[in-house]
Amino acid sequence: MLSPAAAPSAAIEILSAQKTYPDGTHALQSVDLRVEEGEFVTLLGPSGCGKSTLLKMIAGLLEPSDGRLLRWRKPVSLTHPSSDHRLAFVFQSPTLMPWASVQSNVRLPLDLAGVAREQADARVTQALQMVGLAGFATALPRTLSGGMQMRVSIARALVTEPQLLLMDEPFGALDEITRHNLDAELLGLWAAQKLTVVFVTHSIHEAVFLSTRVVMMAARPGRVVEEVCIEEPYPRSADFMVSPQFSRYAKRLQDSLARASAATPGRSRP
Amino acid sequence: MTERAPALLSQPRVQRVVYPALVAAVLIGAWQALVIGMELPPYLVPSPWLMLKTLITDWATLGAALLVTLQITVLAFVVATVAGVLISFLFVQNKLIETALFPYAVLLQVTPIVAVAPLIIIWVKNPMAAMVVCASLVALFPIIANTTLGLRSIDPDLQSYFRMNRATRWQTLVRLRIPSALPYFFGGLRISSGLALIGAVVAEFVAGTGGTGAGLAYQILQAGFRLNIPRMFAALLLISLTGVALFAAMAWLTRRVLGPWHASENSHD
């Protein structure tokens, strides 16, 4: 059990947060979780385990029915979801404005915040370089591949120079090869920008490859089953994915998920 | 020659012009042949050639009538567009307003304009204004329905994104709602442009001898009384052409504004 007495380096503290919908569905049982600054934490689990719910609560898009959430020791509030510019969210789909160029899409958070055009454009150029899309500033989203659109979405997240990056199954709709490339690039950006990342996925392999820590979740009712630290140094290469340690981690997560599914308490519905 | 022809005809762009033109040529040819072959009198069915000749000889009357009908149509279309957009904005501001008022928008739509037109013509003194009101009522509903739907059809994730970035109501409206609504709005414009013309014709029929404004529908009525069937056909042709021109203008406008990004504009290629 983690202590609620927070050290100054905690980026996120979740204290007995839970979510019950008005119809009685228990989307998420009480969760205690603490994410340190600079960590790469993955919420891993099958659909219905509440991982997206938890991420949306961290983002301030969803209010917990009970419990508290803190970001940098300040309560997350729904009315001012990101009262500081430390947070960026990447959705499962690229979520771009189809009528606007790549450049305008990436500039959106700066435009909304009222950053001067010249300064904003410089930061957009920089963000597009970071994701390898420097030559596509004037392209329209629909002319790009799914993987490239996702890069635009990541550039839009990075352009605000966030400290906390929340990603909701960002590469779930992409093919295996593209997904792996983007995973590797994401790790590069995470290290270079000193980001704290909370990443939602249903892929055990992706979770093991990326994370410093995997939070294993189970469904019906949604709950945290186990936390597993992946003690493998960065940078991680593709070789890691075929190593015995990798298989051990994957097996351990798989087993814990199987155990959790077998021992379903069945308290989700009245 | 035989080798190049199929290549040219396989292009959808060429097909879209050539095939309807072929149908037109065949139909007009058959019409002309039938009229001559069966010796049909012009007061029953005029030949296409006679219709064209009438159009030229009666151009002074018909051209002036065309201008009047066009004026009513365009004015009504503009009024319907402006009013429809304003009403849609009102609807999306507040669900309560929409719930309270939408049934009346439907009521307006389902009440036949022919039934209401005499009343409007009695109430509105200026016959031109009365006809514009009639035609606007006909053209209004598609704009309201489509624009309201469009203003509501926002990617929920994008909306969350705007919320997370603390976008103001105004920013969300200008940067998200309005651009998202444009394809729907233009769909509404396309339907309404045709309806405005129909409304204008109906209003002219009901207004009858409006005195000042004698539009194409009035010409058709008059030609009917005098059994001047060639002129009737010529006026009919002008109305149809006006409708086609309006539709083409809206299609062009839609392509101009949405062409580069909206999928519906590229789906037939």
Give me the pLDDT at residue A256, please.
87
Choose between B2 and A50: higher pLDDT: A50
Tokens of A117: 């055009």
Give me the pLDDT at residue A270, please.
40
Cα–Cα dist B121/B119, whole Å: 5
**Helix pair angle (B178-207, B113-123), 10° resolution:** 70
| Residue contact A112–B179, C-beta within 8 A | no
| Residue ranges per structural domain of chain B | 1-39, 47-261
Query: Among all residues of chain A, which has the CA nearest to that of B261?
Result: A99
B158 neighbourhood in chain A, CB within 8 Å: 95, 97
| Residue contact A109–B165, C-beta within 8 A | yes
Give me the pLDDT at residue A87, please.
85
| Residue contact A112–B167, C-beta within 8 A | yes
Choose between B269 and A118: higher pLDDT: A118
- Report how far apart, in Å, the C-alpha atoms of A246 and of each of A59, A201, A205, A253, B89 are: 30, 17, 8, 11, 56
| Residue contact A97–B158, C-beta within 8 A | yes
Structural domains present in chain A: 11-84+221-270 (3.40.50), 96-161 (no CATH)
Q: Order across the sheet with A213-218: list the strands.
A: A87-90, A164-168, A196-201, A40-44, A213-218, A223-229
* B216 has a pLDDT exceeding 70: yes
Averaged pLDDT of chain B:
86
- Report how far apart, in Å, the C-alpha atoms of A98 and of each of B175, B182, B262 are: 12, 12, 7
Region B33-51: mean pLDDT is 87
Region B122-134: mean pLDDT is 89
Reported as type and span, the H/E element at residue A126 is helix A117-130
Query: Among all residues of chain A, which has the CA nearest to that of B157?
Result: A95
Reported as type and span, the H/E element at residue A75 is strand A74-75
Residue listed under structure tokens 């949405």: B258
Confidence check on the interface: ipTM exceeds 0.95, yes or no: no
Give me the pLDDT at residue A215, please.
93
Region B98-115: mean pLDDT is 86
* B2 has a pLDDT exceeding 60: no
Per CATH, the homologous superfamily of domain B47-261 is MetI-like (1.10.3720.10)
Cα–Cα dist A46/A91, whole Å: 17
Considering only A35-44, A194-203, B179-188, B214-223, which range has the smallest mean pLDDT?
A: B214-223
Q: Does A89 touch chain B (CB under 8 A)?
A: yes
Tens-binned pLDDT, residue by residue, of chain A (270 aa): 444 444 458 888 888 888 888 887 788 888 899 999 999 999 998 888 888 889 998 988 888 888 888 888 788 876 655 455 578 899 999 999 999 999 999 999 999 988 899 999 999 999 998 888 889 999 999 899 988 999 999 999 989 888 899 999 998 888 888 888 889 989 988 998 889 999 999 899 999 999 999 999 988 788 888 899 999 888 888 889 899 999 999 999 999 888 877 765 544 444
Q: Are A31 and A224 in contact (CB under 8 A)?
A: yes
CB burial class (10 A; 0-12, 13-18, 19+) of residue B38? exposed
Tell me the count of A-B CB pairs closer than 8 A: 54
Q: Residues near B257 by Cβ (< 8 Å), separated by ≥ 6?
A: B182, B186
Give me the pLDDT at residue B269, please.
35
Tokens of B106: 């439907």
Give me the pLDDT at residue B268, please.
39
A111 neighbourhood in chain B, CB within 8 Å: 175
Give me the pLDDT at residue A6, please.
45
| Residue contact B161–A111, C-beta within 8 A | no
Q: What angle do CA B94, B99, B103 make, to 5 degrees?
A: 135
Among residues of chain B, what percentage have pLDDT more than 70? 92
Q: Sorting pLDDT into bands at 50, 70 and 90, what band is B263?
A: low
Give me the pLDDT at residue B6, please.
59
* Residue B126: strand, helix, or coil: coil
| Residue contact A99–B182, C-beta within 8 A | yes
| Residue contact B157–A109, C-beta within 8 A | no
* B8 has a pLDDT exceeding 80: no
* Residue A13: strand, helix, or coil: strand
CA A217 to the chain's CA centroid:
15
Cα–Cα dist A227/B217, whole Å: 79
One-letter amino acid of A257: L
Give me the pLDDT at residue B172, please.
92
Query: Among all residues of chain A, which has the CA nearest to that of B156?
Result: A95
* B133 has a pLDDT exceeding 90: yes
